[in-house]
Amino acid sequence: MSTLSPARRGAARRTAPRRPPHPAPLLALGAVWAGAAGVLALWWTGTTSVVGPADWLTGAGRITGLLAGYACAVLVALMARIPLLDHSLGTDRLARWHAHGGRYTLSLVLAHTLLIIWGYTLTSHSGVVDETTTLVLDYPDMLKATAGFLLLVATGIVSARAARRRMSYETWHYLHFATYLAVFLTFGHQLSNGADFVGRRPAQLAWYALYGTVAALILWYRFVVPVCRARRHRLRVADVRPEAPGVVSVHLTGERLTELGARPGQFFRWRFLAPGLRWTAIPYSLSAPPLPHELRITVKAAGGHSAAMARLRPGTRVWAEGPYGAFTAKRRSPEKVLLLAGGVGITPLRALFETLPGEVTLLYRARRPEDLALRGELDAIAAARGAAVHYSVSEPAARSTPLTARALSRLVPDLAAHEVYLCGPPGMAEAARRALRGAGVPRRQIHHESFEF
């Protein structure tokens, strides 16, 4: 990849505005770690002594079990779609934390299982198979916990990147619901068998409060709020219009849509009450600024669900969960902004292109000229606000702008002084991030909306 020389890169960085990092991520992580410290305090205050290998193994099993139980609650809370977290941290960051935390949680669950069996085996001087059989069949709530453990492992396997690439969003979405059942099945054994909870009423109440709060958040934000909003706003499909090969815009009408508080750059999870679509809520960004009685999304046929959008009939009822995401003008600080889109990633950037104040430049990449969806609108917006718009296509190659630091700096003077909004396929987005960093754009000025699930 071509990059700027060290001298020019240093000069570019000196032109970049400096601002303190947003406190929300630090505050959220601080709260999570404080909770983990409180969980460890349960073990510390409930353990009088640790003597011999059996005690050390059992103690380690108790610690990993406590942390795994706490982590399960945190993981579910991260995906509860709480507006305060979503709008301050961003959906992408929450999803990344959830994915990383899921791997650690599964490791803790496996370690807890193995350490407890090993420690109990040494204590009882029995074999591993006999001790495992006794634990599962004779201890309270352990049959349910075993089923929950197997579900957690299965969910971890299907959530692995290699497995996700081989399944549709809809399949992954349904399988992921097993997490809720797994957490429910494993909850009972923590209180009935955990030495840190048996006979300790305050600890039990704290654990009930933790899980009860998370359950209430899930119930409220993922079920009650969407139903209430569906009844209040009465969204329906008004029209479906082709924009490019395999790309359509879905126009929706409804009542009192300003009360949703949607901003350009955000997305909703849409549930269309039509055959084959009603059981899945899939995220699509707004592709135009929201209006009091109209919303619009633009969708590319990339799977069974998205392909069926082209066949929607006017009048189809719609449930919309959201708005979600922090990919909005609130992230903007410098007066200069670069919008960098790839393929159907133009959808949130088209809405931002119309509404962001200041000096805005749009670079839109696609495979062929006919794949440049919404091009007429983009040209009209650029002419109306005096903004610059650049198109780059892979075919023919002569019209392609490579994603390198040198090429982007040549196209966008003073690039390091720009706020960058980036949305596109994973490979393109990663290449763009490397090029932008090579051109001296600070990491905090690069905002990315991911297509991955």
For 374-430, the pLDDT digits (tens) are 999 999 999 999 999 999 988 876 567 788 999 999 999 889 989 999 999 888 999
Q: Is the pLDDT of residue 137 over 70?
A: yes
Q: Is the pLDDT of residue 18 over 70?
A: no
pLDDT at 170: 64
pLDDT at 2: 37
User: Mean per-residue pLDDT for 130-155?
Assistant: 91
Pairing of strands 247-253, 294-300: antiparallel
**DSSP 8-state class, residue 197:** T
Query: 269 in helix, strand or coil?
Result: strand
Instruction: Give the number of C-alpha atoms closer than 13 A to the C-alpha of residue 440, restricted to the C-beta side.
Output: 24
Pair 452, 418: CB distance under 8 Å: no
Name the CA dihedral angle for 406, 407, 413, 419, rounded to a multiple of 10 degrees.
-90
**Listed residue (343, 430, 327) closest to 92, CA to CA:** 327
Residue with tokens 């460890």: 40
Q: What is the pLDDT of residues 80-134, one digit of tens each?
A: 888 888 888 888 888 888 888 989 999 999 999 999 999 999 999 889 999 999 9
**Listed residue (210, 218, 219, 148) closest to 178, CA to CA:** 148
Tokens describing residue 267: 């997305």
pLDDT at 163: 65
**DSSP 8-state class, residue 291:** B
User: Mean per-residue pLDDT for 10-31?
Assistant: 61
Range list of β-strands (E), 77-171? none
**Listed residue (219, 277, 231, 278) closest to 255, CA to CA:** 231
Helical residues (DSSP H) of 246-331, grouped into ranges: 304-308
Tokens describing residue 300: 């590319």
Q: 260 — phi, psi (to 5°)?
A: -70, -25
Residues of the chain with pLDDT > 90, as a percent, come to: 57
pLDDT at 452: 54
**Rounded Cα gap, residues 431 and 63, in angstroms:** 41
pLDDT at 176: 75
From residue 91, how far is each of 1, 87, 141, 237 by CA, in Å? 30, 8, 35, 26
395 vs 286, which has greater pLDDT?
286
Q: 241 — phi, psi (to 5°)?
A: -125, 135
**Residue 386 exposed, middle or buried by CB count within 10 Å (0-12, 13-18, 19+):** exposed
Q: 269 — phi, psi (to 5°)?
A: -100, 115
The sign one gets for the Cα dihedral 25, 27, 32, 37 is positive
pLDDT at 14: 39
How much is the pTM?
A: 0.78
pLDDT at 162: 63
Query: 171 in helix, strand or coil?
Result: helix
449 vs 342, which has greater pLDDT?
342
Q: How many residues does the chain have?
A: 453
From residue 107, how far is each of 120, 155, 190 by CA, in Å? 20, 13, 17
Rg of the chain in Å (alpha carbons): 26
Pair 152, 69: CB distance under 8 Å: no
**Listed residue (358, 302, 362) closest to 331, CA to CA:** 358
Q: Is the pLDDT of residue 360 over 90?
A: yes
